[in-house]
Amino acid sequence: MESVKFKQVVIAVLGFILLGAFVVVGYVESMRRIPDAKPHIVVSRENEKCISCHEQQSNARTVAEQWRASTHAKRGVGCLECHRADAADMDAFVHYKQTIATVVSPGDCAQCHPNEFDQFQRSHHAQAGKILGSLDNVLAEVVEGHMPVVHGKRLESPAAVSGCKQCHGSAVKPLLDDSGNKVYRDSGVLVLDSDTWPNTGIGRLNPDGSLGSCAACHNRHYFSAAQAREPDDCGKCHLGPDHPQYEIYRESKHGINFIAHKDEMNLDAHPWIVGEDYVAAATCATCHMSATPNQPVTHDVGERISWTLRPPISEKVDAVALKQGKQVMPWQERRSNMKDVCVQCHSQQYVESFYEQYDDLVGLYNYKFGEPATDLIKGLKANGLITADIAFDDKIEWTYFYLWHHEGRRARMGASMMGPDYTQWHGMYEVADRFYMEFLPEVREAIEHGHDGGNASGAAASQAMLDEIMARDEHLWIQGKVSVEDKAARDAAAEEFRKRYAGSE
């Protein structure tokens, strides 16, 4: 009896030990380090399958390698933490027994980064996909592009798919066949409509309803803050003839100092506070997003800018919202947020005086060119001298577009970020040339045509507007109507100039 009891105890103890061993082995198995990985990478067993198989796919190896180098890998955030989907999601598919989606939206990142998500969703960036119907869109869809209807479906314009939407964002959708069913590859991977994806536009409309793409700035699969602090990161979109912020930055002292002192910038620091972790130069992120001793990082890039330099006539950045009766951060607060960045490296007076120079340039562009040109073109349309309902069919509409959308923006943007060449030679000089040498002659031509074509009253109305504008002080010079005092001052300055240069010859 005794020995039987003893045996039972021994079996029970052994059983417990075995069970314990199973639990331990099971736990270790589920949290096993991935083979050949850096020792601190620990992810779940499901993730391990994704990683080890993808590492062997020649076309997808980069994904796993970049992921390994990321903070996410070090913190145990694996493939599934981002790619896992609900079966009901519009873009879900079953892949090696897991339900996943290829598109990882800001809504997916929000599980772990709710603050960045909220700030980004309320920003102008997140709204950038809603450009449909804008004047620029007429260019991509009608003027440059074409959207034919084939089998009852209107095709997208390639000019918009590969152009506008790669910066602004598409509306990502699964491809549907003629009967409206989703299409899958032989591997079971869901096919996304190639008119809408690949795309990492900043205001992308995602299948889950969230806006934008965090990968617009945080290139996958590194997802690094350091990389997003580099000016090149913003330069994918903020460049070119109509918003050359990248080129302006490269011209500015800030850009020059960034290149010269990059090794002092401490770009990998967490947190990265201007004035504490670095002083050598400011990057786009420094001024628009990153932390100061008084402000945390913001993912709403509008929180530090006071003007909008995009429209034909600049207004304060909160003006549209105020007109609509919406409550938003007032421009004064945004401006003081930016000044708080500047004064980490510059004196108060330096910064105040910079803002006076900037405001004056925006004011000059507005009253001398932006407002009169806008009034005149609206007048020509209202008075029936050019077609009102079709954009870009009259030459003067192109002239006007160059004036405000390209040259006028460049001048204002150059002044906002210390790029004098963009303010002057790519900016105000071209604005003036366009206004006096093309726009005004084309206004006169349209008036003449109206007259000859029997629209005398329309022509007279626009002529009256033109006369009123040309009588303004700032436009007298081109008509030779300069005051005696102005002429004397000009002549004296010219004489001084001649003497100075004669002396150095």
Assess 475 for contact with ligand HEC (CB under 6 A). no
CB of 374 to ligand HEC, least distance (A): 15
Contact of 189 with 102, CB cutoff 8 Å? yes
CB of 54 to ligand HEC, least distance (A): 4
Q: Residue with structure tokens 């006028």?
A: 408
Query: Among 41, 92, 234, 431, which residue interacts with ligand HEC (rule: CB under 6 A)?
Result: 234
Instruction: Say how many residues touch ligand HEC, by CB under 6 A.
Output: 126
Kindly tell me which of 51 and 459 has the beta carbon lying closer to ligand HEC.
51
Kindly tell me which of 334 and 461 has the beta carbon lying closer to ligand HEC.
334
Query: Among 85, 91, 106, 430, which residue interacts with ligand HEC (rule: CB under 6 A)?
Result: 106
Structure tokens at 205: 């409309």
CB of 475 to ligand HEC, least distance (A): 27
Contact of 196 with 170, CB cutoff 8 Å? yes
Chain-centroid distance, C-alpha 153: 30
Contact of 105 with 210, CB cutoff 8 Å? yes
In sequence order, the 6+-apart residues with CB closer than 8 A to the CB of 49 are: 96
In sequence order, the 6+-apart residues with CB closer than 8 A to the CB of 367 are: 474
In sequence order, the 6+-apart residues with CB closer than 8 A to the CB of 445 are: none
Chain-centroid distance, C-alpha 14: 64
Kindly tell me which of 200 and 463 has the beta carbon lying closer to ligand HEC.
200
Query: Among 91, 116, 156, 195, which residue interacts with ligand HEC (rule: CB under 6 A)?
Result: 116
CB of 468 to ligand HEC, least distance (A): 29
Assess 41 for contact with ligand HEC (CB under 6 A). no
CA distances from 82 to 100, 113, 189 (A): 9, 12, 17
Assess 335 for contact with ligand HEC (CB under 6 A). yes
Assess 490 for contact with ligand HEC (CB under 6 A). no
Give Dmax over CA atoms of the chain in angstroms: 130
Kindly tell me which of 121 and 399 has the beta carbon lying closer to ligand HEC.
121
Structure tokens at 118: 């909220």
Query: Among 299, 368, 406, 410, which residue interacts with ligand HEC (rule: CB under 6 A)?
Result: 299
Collect contacts of 187-195 with beta carbons under 8 A, ≥24 apart: 187/95, 188/93, 188/94, 188/95, 189/93, 189/95, 189/102, 190/91, 190/92, 190/93, 190/101, 190/102, 192/91, 192/102, 192/103, 195/155, 195/156, 195/161, 195/170
Query: Among 85, 161, 205, 281, which residue interacts with ligand HEC (rule: CB under 6 A)?
Result: 281
Write each residue from 65 to 94 as x if it is in contact with ligand HEC (CB under 6 A), else as -, in one continuous string.
--x---xx--x-xxxxxxx-----------
The residue range among 236-244, 422-430, 433-441, 460-468 that interacts with ligand HEC, by the rule CB under 6 A, is: 236-244
Assess 103 for contact with ligand HEC (CB under 6 A). yes
- How many Å apart are CA 368 and CA 290, to the nearest integer? 36
Query: Among 33, 49, 451, 475, which residue interacts with ligand HEC (rule: CB under 6 A)?
Result: 49
- How many Å apart are CA 146 and CA 137, to the nearest integer? 12
Assess 342 for contact with ligand HEC (CB under 6 A). yes
Query: Among 5, 151, 154, 185, which residue interacts with ligand HEC (rule: CB under 6 A)?
Result: 185
Kindly tell me which of 401 and 435 has the beta carbon lying closer to ligand HEC.
401
CB of 191 to ligand HEC, least distance (A): 8
Assess 243 for contact with ligand HEC (CB under 6 A). yes
The residue range among 322-330, 416-424, 483-491, 497-505 that interacts with ligand HEC, by the rule CB under 6 A, is: 416-424
- How many Å apart are CA 424 and CA 431, to the nearest integer? 9
Assess 100 for contact with ligand HEC (CB under 6 A). yes
Stretch 302-321 residues interacting with ligand HEC (CB under 6 A) = 302, 305-310, 317
Assess 282 for contact with ligand HEC (CB under 6 A). yes
Stretch 203-232 residues interacting with ligand HEC (CB under 6 A) = 213-218, 220-221, 223-226, 228-229, 231
The residue range among 13-21, 31-39, 299-307, 374-382 that interacts with ligand HEC, by the rule CB under 6 A, is: 299-307
Query: Among 211, 237, 396, 440, which residue interacts with ligand HEC (rule: CB under 6 A)?
Result: 237
Q: What angle do CA 221, 212, 89 make, to 5 degrees?
A: 80
- How many Å apart are CA 101 and CA 202, to the nearest integer? 20
Contact of 196 with 188, CB cutoff 8 Å? no
CA distances from 370 to 19, 309, 323, 363, 402 (A): 80, 11, 21, 10, 12
Stretch 123-162 residues interacting with ligand HEC (CB under 6 A) = 124-125, 127-128, 131, 134, 136-137, 139-140
Length of the chain: 505
In sequence order, the 6+-apart residues with CB closer than 8 A to the CB of 238 are: 244, 245, 246, 284
Kindly tell me which of 178 and 186 has the beta carbon lying closer to ligand HEC.
186
Stretch 386-405 residues interacting with ligand HEC (CB under 6 A) = none
Q: How many CA atoms lie within 13 A of 115 on its CB side?
A: 3
- How many Å apart are CA 249 and CA 347, to the nearest integer? 21
- How many Å apart are CA 338 and CA 346, to the nearest integer? 12
Kindly tell me which of 119 and 383 has the beta carbon lying closer to ligand HEC.
119
CB of 407 to ligand HEC, least distance (A): 14
